[in-house]
């Protein structure tokens, strides 16, 4: 058994899992995604790396992700999605629904999902997802993918620059939760959707933070305003710009 003073516990997590996973826990690491990328040829699929702290956590477009000690879940999962590049969004969507399902199961909170990789609680960001892939260029198929998950769990004081942007789970409830229990639930729901192929697209749409809303789309060096009208089975966001219907695969969006 590996127990850290911060109470992250491999045995406690594994005891509550439906499917077996090799789990590694660190007290501090630069980035769980970076670690798995550096060891990708040495690790089995399904390996999960968790750290109590990240000293260089990052998100989409290499934006810094605050990963303070003892207060969050910072984890990465190595998988083989065996899908085309165009289908890779589905893994981010799937992971979002797994996190939503786990938080609702443990905390009964009304979590929303902002396309494509943000977890929203009371209009503030409580977590995010970063999927990084190795692609076989001859087949256009993703051979390896690292699914990075970051969630603010414990109650703590955010920097002034983040107070109107971010929140934590415990900042929205009146009881303490076990990070081990929440990690186990996230993994179990991830396995339900990824391994057991349970439907998740409908849940994503039902809990969307953007569908039906007017949004600003930032795409490369251009931006335009549109209305989010649907999310298709590949995970793409369908928007309407005046009379045009546009399918978004990779863009930054904000609510108007």
**Per-domain residue ranges for the chain?**
10-206, 214-255
CA angle 75, 92, 126 (to 5 degrees): 60
The 10s digit of each residue's pLDDT in 150-201 is 999 998 888 888 889 999 999 999 999 999 999 999 999 999 999 999 999 9
The 10s digit of each residue's pLDDT in 187-215 is 999 999 999 999 999 999 999 999 999 99
* CATH architecture designation of domain 214-255: Roll (2.30)
Residue 215 CA to residue 248 CA, distance in Å, equals 12
Q: Which CATH number fits domain 10-206: 3.30.930.10, 3.40.35.10, 2.150.10.10, 3.40.10.10?
A: 3.30.930.10
- 237 touches 228 (CB < 8 A): yes
- Classify burial at 54, counting beta carbons within 10 Å of its beta carbon; exposed 0-12, middle 13-18, buried 19 or more: buried
> Left, alpha or beta for 100 (phi > 0: left; psi -120 to 50: alpha)?
alpha
Region 62-68: what's the mean pLDDT?
Answer: 80
Cα dist. 236→49, 74, 228 in Å?
A: 28, 26, 11
pLDDT score, position 47 = 98
pTM metric for this prediction: 0.94
φ, ψ (nearest 5 deg) of residue 42? -105, -15
Residue 17's Cβ-side half-sphere holds a number of Cα atoms within 13 Å equal to 19
β-bridge partners, 244: 241
Give 5's pLDDT tier (boundaries 50, 70, 90): very low
């Amino acid at each position: 058994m590996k127990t850290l003073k911060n109470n992250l516990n491999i045995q406690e997590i594994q005891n509550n899992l439906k499917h077996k996973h090799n789990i590694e826990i660190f007290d501090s690491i630069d980035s769980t995604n970076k670690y798995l990328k550096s060891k990708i040829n040495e690790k089995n699929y399904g390996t999960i790396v968790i750290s109590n702290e990240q000293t260089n956590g990052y998100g989409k477009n290499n934006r810094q992700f605050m990963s303070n000690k003892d207060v969050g879940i910072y984890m990465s999962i190595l998988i083989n999605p065996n899908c085309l590049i165009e289908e890779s969004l589905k893994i981010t969507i799937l992971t979002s629904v797994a996190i939503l399902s786990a938080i609702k199961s443990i905390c009964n909170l009304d979590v929303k999902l902002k396309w494509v990789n943000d977890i929203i609680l009371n209009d503030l960001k409580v977590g995010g997802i970063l999927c990084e892939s190795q692609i076989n260029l001859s087949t256009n198929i993703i051979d390896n993918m690292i699914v990075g998950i970051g969630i603010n769990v414990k109650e703590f004081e955010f920097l002034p620059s983040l107070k109107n942007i971010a929140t934590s789970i415990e900042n929205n409830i009146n009881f303490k939760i076990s990070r081990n229990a929440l990690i186990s639930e996230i993994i179990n729901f991830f396995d339900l959707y990824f391994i057991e192929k349970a439907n998740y697209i409908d849940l994503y749409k039902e809990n969307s933070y953007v569908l039906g809303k007017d949004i600003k789309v930032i795409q490369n060096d251009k931006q335009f305003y549109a209305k989010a009208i649907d999310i298709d089975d590949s995970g793409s966001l369908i928007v309407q710009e005046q009379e045009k219907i546009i399918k978004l695969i990779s863009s930054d969006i904000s609510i108007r």
